[in-house]
Amino acid sequence: MSATIAPPGPPAPSPDAMESLSGRRLPRWAPWAVLVVAAALALLLAAFTAVSGRAGTSLVGIGLFIALQSGWSFAVEGRRHAIDRFATTLIYSSFVIAMIPLVAILVSVVVNGIKAFTPYFLLHSMRNVDPRGTGGGEYHAIIGTIEVVGMAAIIGIPIGILVAIYLVEYGNRSRLARLISFFVDVMTGVPSIVAGLFVYTFLVLTLGFQQSGLAGALSLSILVIPIVVRSSEEMLKLVPTELRESSYALGVPKYRTIMRIVVPTALPGMITGAMLAISRVTGETAPLLLTMFLTQSINTNPLTGPQATLPTFIWDQILNGTDASTNRAWAAALTLILFVMILNIVARLLARLSRVK
């Protein structure tokens, strides 16, 4: 601290000396006071000068707040504390900045989505509906989403869990295990559209299949695998070694130890991770456009022909470009976000409930 050090002479320092040890500080209410002053000034400026608009006014307000607080702090507390307050303001405001789009997105999806979000919309397809006019619904897309995401989960989650088991239980940081671990990390960064492109070249161009729900599910499972591996790996690592050792000590083979002791112990966490992975890919659009295209009709068979999903439905409705279709897009976005959020919240609740045990 920039304070003067109490002289060593007097044995019992007076209260004044104690005070000087901590230096001069702004009162605790200082930031709030500055906030009020800055807001008032910004509003005044907005009323009487060229400053205008909500965004502009708040920017000016933030600038004023930073300047006033730093200045006051510099005068009273000195340079170091002024810098500290400056940095604190920036860090707090970065969090607020991140909150704004999140709130704006959620609010606009709910406000705009509720308009066309009716039981009729949920239970009818777009077959024989004018894509630019009103009417129609997303039933076919809901079916497609559930089927495709379900298949992606069935394909991707077991593979991901097996890889995680290999890495934690058998890998022993061998060269192969480290290579796999590295590429799992790299795989999380594969753009979703590249996964779709790969499944298209493999299934459609090379093996001669059609675009279908299964192809879409395969492309999603490429995106699911690395996320599941990472989360299951974390959970398996949390299983205490003593548990494994006591099982070995009883003569239980390793594979049985893993299946009966290790995996059940880690299971709640693994389910949470898998559900988060699924919720992450539910909103994927790009790979599905390539691998399963889209349709306006109900197609319950994921093995042949194109299927619609909620994300590709939204895409299609946005591109139609009329007010009616944009309303449908918002309503489908509301459905999708409800779907994803429910998966997310259930997964986190599961995690919390199992942690208490």
Partner 1 sequence: MSATPTLEHPAPAPAPEDPNRIRGNSVRPGDRIFRGVTRGAGILVLLIMGAIGAFLLWKAIPALRVNTVNFFTYQKWSPDNTPAKFGIAAMAFGTVVCAVIAMILAVPVGYGIALFTAHYAPRRIAAMLGYVIDLLAAVPSIIFGLWGLNYLMPRSYGLMQWLNDHLGFIPIFDNRLGVYSRSIMIASIVLAIMILPTVSAISREVFVQVPRAHVEAALALGATRWEMIRTAVIPYGRSGMISAAMLGLGRALGETIAVALLLSASFTISSHLTEPGGITISAAIALLFNESGAIGIGALIAAGLVLFVITLLVNMIARLIIERRRDFSGAN
Residues 134-163 touching partner 1, rule: CB under 8 A, are 159, 162-163
From residue 5, alpha-carbon distances to 14, 16, 35 in Å are: 13, 12, 34
Pick the stretch among 8-16, 116-124, 234-242, 311-319 that binds partner 1 (CB under 8 A).
311-319
Say which residues have a Cβ less than 8 Å from residue 37's Cβ, sequence separation at least 6. Answer: 64, 68
Please give the Cα distance from 219 to 311 (Å, whole number).
Answer: 15
Residue number with CB closer to partner 1 (5 or 12): 5
Nearest to 280 by CA among 338, 344, 197, 237: 344
Q: Is 206 in the site for partner 1 (CB under 8 A)?
A: yes
H helical segments located in 200-262: 213-238, 241-249, 254-256
Q: Is 5 in the site for partner 1 (CB under 8 A)?
A: no
**Under rule CB under 8 A, which residues in 217-236 are in contact with partner 1?**
222, 225-226, 229
Please give the Cα distance from 140 to 122 (Å, whole number).
Answer: 9
User: Contact with partner 1 (CB under 8 A): which of 193, 338, 346, 350?
Assistant: 193
Residue number with CB closer to partner 1 (32 or 183): 183
Say which residues have a Cβ less than 8 Å from residue 115's Cβ, sequence separation at least 6. Answer: 327, 330, 331
Residue number with CB closer to partner 1 (34 or 290): 290
Tell me how far, at minimum, the Cβ of 105 lies from partner 1, in Å.
5
**Under rule CB under 8 A, which residues in 71-110 are in contact with partner 1?**
80-81, 83-84, 86-88, 90-95, 97-99, 101-102, 104-105, 108-109
- The SS3 assignment for 131 reads coil
Q: Is 208 in the site for partner 1 (CB under 8 A)?
A: no
